[in-house]
Chain A
Amino acid sequence: MSGHRRTITFTLNGRDVAADIGVHQNLTEVLQESFGLFGARESCGQGLCGCCTVLVDGQAVTSCLSLAAFADGSTIDTIEGLADGDTLSPEQEAFIETGAFQCGYCTPGFILMTKQLLDENPEPSDEEIMHYLSGNLCRCGAYAEIVKAVRLAGQKRKA
Chain B
Amino acid sequence: MHFFELAEPASLQEAIGLLGDSGGRPVAGGTAVMLMMKTGVFQPERLVSLRKIESQYSQIRLDSEGNLRLGAMTPLRRIERSADVAAVAPVVTAAMRRLSNVRVRNVATLGGHLAHGDPHLDLPPVLIALNASLVVASPSGERTMPVEDLFRGYLETALAPDELIAEVIVPANPDQRAAYLKHTTRSAEDWPALGIAVALTLNGGTVETARVAIGAATDTPRRLTSVETMLIGNPHNDAVLQTTGDATAGEAEVHSDARGSAAYKRELIRVFTARAIRQAVEGDRA
The answer, yes or no, to whether A9 is at the interface (CB within 8 Å) is: no
CA of A60 to CA of B102, assembled, Å: 7
Stretch at the interface among A19-27, A90-98, A142-150, A151-159: A19-27
Q: Binary interface profile of A, 32-49, with partner B (CB < 8 Å = 1, else 0)?
A: 000000000000011110
Given known A-B contacts A2-B7, A4-B3, A70-B51, A113 and B31 have beta carbons under 8 A apart:
no
Q: Binary interface profile of A, 122-138, with partner B (CB < 8 Å = 1, else 0)?
A: 00000000011011100
The answer, yes or no, to whether A107 is at the interface (CB within 8 Å) is: no
CA of A136 to CA of B3, assembled, Å: 29
CB <8 Å contact, B102 and A70: no
CB < 8 Å A-B pair total: 85
Q: Binary interface profile of B, 1-14, with partner A (CB < 8 Å = 1, else 0)?
A: 11111111000000
The answer, yes or no, to whether A11 is at the interface (CB within 8 Å) is: no
Report the minimum CB–CB distance from A23 to chain B (whole Å): 4
Binding site secondary structure of chain B: mixed
Which residues of B lie under 8 Å from residue A1 when comparing CB positions?
A: 7-8
CB <8 Å contact, A65 and B101: no
CB <8 Å contact, B35 and A67: no
Q: How many B residues have CB within 8 A of the partner chain?
A: 29
CB <8 Å contact, A65 and B6: no
Given known A-B contacts A45-B38, A67-B34, A134-B188, A24 and B103 have beta carbons under 8 A apart:
no
CB <8 Å contact, A116 and B6: no
The answer, yes or no, to whether A30 is at the interface (CB within 8 Å) is: no
CB <8 Å contact, B34 and A26: yes
CB <8 Å contact, B3 and A62: no
Nearest to B77 among chain A residues (CB) is A59
Residues of chain B in range 77-114 having any CB-CB distance to chain A below 8 Å: 77, 97, 100-104, 106-107
Which residues of A lie under 8 Å from residue B49 when comparing CB positions?
A: 69-70
Which residues of B lie under 8 Å from residue A78 when comparing CB positions?
A: none
Q: Which residue in B3, B6, B103 is a CB contact (below 8 Å) of A53?
A: B103
Q: Which residue in A3, A26, A60, A131 is a CB contact (below 8 Å) of B103?
A: A60
The answer, yes or no, to whether B189 is at the interface (CB within 8 Å) is: yes
Q: Binary interface profile of B, 99-134, with partner A (CB < 8 Å = 1, else 0)?
A: 011111011000000000000000000000000000
Given known A-B contacts A131-B97, A134-B188, A69 and B6 have beta carbons under 8 A apart:
yes
CA of A45 to CA of B118, assembled, Å: 19
CB <8 Å contact, B4 and A62: no
CB <8 Å contact, B4 and A23: yes
CB <8 Å contact, A134 and B101: yes
Given known A-B contacts A48-B189, A66-B34, A60 and B3 have beta carbons under 8 A apart:
no
The answer, yes or no, to whether A50 is at the interface (CB within 8 Å) is: yes
Q: Binary interface profile of B, 26-47, with partner A (CB < 8 Å = 1, else 0)?
A: 0100110011001000000011
Report the minimum CB–CB distance from B40 to chain A (whole Å): 12
User: Could you say which of A59, A64, A132 has the most chain B C-beta atoms within 10 Å of its C-beta?
Assistant: A59
Starting from the known contacts A2-B46, A67-B34, 7 additional A-B residue pairs (CB-CB under 8 Å) come to A1-B7, A2-B5, A4-B4, A23-B4, A47-B31, A65-B31, A136-B101
B-binding residues in A (CB < 8 A): 1-4, 6, 22-26, 45-48, 50, 53, 59-62, 64-67, 69-70, 113, 116, 131-132, 134-136
4 shortest interchain CB distances as A-B pairs: A135-B101, A23-B6, A65-B34, A59-B106
